[in-house]
Amino acid sequence: MSDSALVRARTHLQDGDEDAAKQAYLDVLRVDPTHCVALTELGALAHGTGHVSAAREAFGQALRYHPESQAARLGYAYLLSEAGEPAAAVEHYRAALAADPDLYQAHQGLARALTDLGENADEHWRKGYCGHAVVPRRYRGKGTGIPLILLLSARGGNVPTQHWIDERVYAVTSIYADFLDPDEPVPGDAAAIVNAIGDADLAHVALVNAERIVPGAAEPVINAPGLVLATGREDNARRLADIPDLIVPRMAHLSRAADFGYPLLLRSLGYHTGQHFVCVESRDALAAAAGSLPGSDPLAIEYLNARGPDGMARKYRVMFIGGRMYPLHLAISVDWKVHYFSAAMEADPRFRAEESRFLEDMPGVIGGRAMAALARIQAVMGLDYGGIDFGLAPDGRVLLFEANATMAIVPPGPDPIWDYRRRAVADVLAAARGLLPGTPAPAAVCGKPATG
């Protein structure tokens, strides 16, 4: 029974029928709840379909029953790292390498986890990715998928694409450009190349290597690497500085920064979601703050006050996709460091109502000066996919926080309080999908032409 059900599960996976595959794996586990292969393959299926808690439970059970299983240990460690528990992940990756010092997947995971902890991981990056830079992903659809090349940086700084590149439609081959050997063959039959390397500060080497991959490509290239290379924080500060109605903060590495006054922001380059990003209130606190950050020379950034008359800080996000501008969210927070996941949106219906007005009528809310400035920023950047985080000055000018390709599109949760956001997010995702071959470009509802 177990063997036949396992074969059936794998056959369903090959046919793209994930629900039937899941049921077949469960049939195996009803007979043998400790079946290692069924647990690990079910965990991989659950993770691939976005059921992270179920994946963690499956890999965790497999590891409890079969501590010798490298597949179970690697799967569980990956989920720990993904959940923001790098120290716990490190223990499992080291255990895997103790059993097999050449296990490149363990080196890959350990490199990511150690980097998240601020530790040197150069040896593990090299052992994990040299010779393993071209990785065909499992195609999850039925029939034959549209071949797609996804350029990535092994060290991170990639555009989140999981919500708009559907692996039931596209047969994706990932290429980690920072470790690609010039003699290593790459697929030549792709319908498009998507450059998902988005952070020009963290992934400079990967972007330079990616530029060598795409010049001879006959297929379209989405987000040409050269355009992304120009979007580093300091580069943006220089090239966007002359745009009318845009306030660009002064910035320089701390070792050569002029006195920007206080409060002053310090940031380690290559990190997002507020990680390693601090506000220094006075010169007396500067040395301790700088010492708390990874790296020896953080970026010093002039503080731009984005607080409204109510004392709350506001951060708007607008996406630039296919030549149009799409409002994605407005986050309102008591903290100067504004992120949607930590903002006060869930707690206060007034803030949700304010965001709803922004999503429904972006020009009416932010005004003509801001709309014109955003359009000029998009034109200078020239990206197929990117975005901007910004605040508004009292006179309607734009306060630049960041503008690049790494902007994430995160669908709202199931709670009905977020229903007002669903249409705007759906429009943005449809626009991103419209960049890909085989997907019609959407008739935008919230998107505004990039004119002005």
In tens digits, what is the pLDDT along the chain, a chain of 452 residues?
568 889 999 999 888 899 999 999 999 999 999 999 999 999 999 998 889 999 999 999 999 999 999 999 999 999 999 999 999 999 999 999 999 999 999 999 999 999 888 899 999 999 999 999 999 998 988 888 999 999 999 999 999 999 999 999 999 999 999 999 877 777 778 999 999 999 999 999 999 999 988 876 667 999 999 999 999 999 999 999 999 999 999 888 887 766 788 888 888 876 656 677 888 888 888 888 887 787 778 888 888 999 999 999 999 999 999 999 999 999 999 888 787 878 888 899 999 999 999 999 999 999 999 999 999 999 999 999 999 999 999 999 999 999 999 999 999 999 999 999 999 999 999 999 999 998 755 554 445 554 43
Judge if the upstream peptide bond of residue 414 is cis by omega within 30 degrees of 0: no
Whether the pTM exceeds 0.75: the reply is: yes
Whole-angstrom distance, CA of residue 210 vs CA of residue 203? 10
Contact yes or no for 214/250 (Cβ under 8 A): no
What would be the CATH architecture of the domain defined by 2-129?
Answer: Alpha Horseshoe (1.25)
Written out in words, the top-level CATH class of the domain with range 250-302 is alpha beta
Q: In the CATH hierarchy, which fold is given to the domain comprising 313-449?
A: D-amino Acid Aminotransferase; Chain A, domain 1 (3.30.470)
* Sequence ranges of the domains in the chain: 2-129, 134-223, 250-302, 313-449
